[in-house]
Amino acid sequence: MYRWGKRAAHNRAQIIYYLAENLEQRRSEFAHCLTSMTGGTEEAGLHEVDLSIKRLFHWAAYADKYGGTVQVCMMLQK
């Protein structure tokens, strides 16, 4: 079995995209669970799930685009 750090960046991106897409499909279910566990409002639960989905898509795109490596900023090279 490959560990996370040894996987290719594209493969890591695919896994994160998969998680984001599945979370998005079950958005209301996860929001309901959060609401039940925290006693918060349904709106707050949906907001939290939406933020999680947004973050997952962001980091999946980052892994896919940059290969998971640190990018040197041109301003820092001067």
Distances (CA, A) of 52 to 10, 13, 15: 20, 16, 15
Per the structure, how many domains does the chain have? 1
CB neighbours of 55 closer than 8 A, spacing ≥ 6? Answer: none
Q: What percent of the chain has pLDDT over 70?
A: 82
**What is the pLDDT at residue 69?**
60
pLDDT in tens, 49-58: 999 999 999 9
Please tell me which residue, 32 or 2, carries the higher pLDDT value.
Answer: 32
State yes or no: pLDDT of 40 exceeds 70.
Answer: yes
pLDDT in tens, 56-71: 999 998 888 876 565 5
Q: Structural domain of residue 56, as residue ranges? A: 4-77
**What is the pLDDT at residue 63?**
86
d(CA 13, CA 58): 10
DSSP per-residue codes, 59-73: HHHHHHHHTTPPPPP
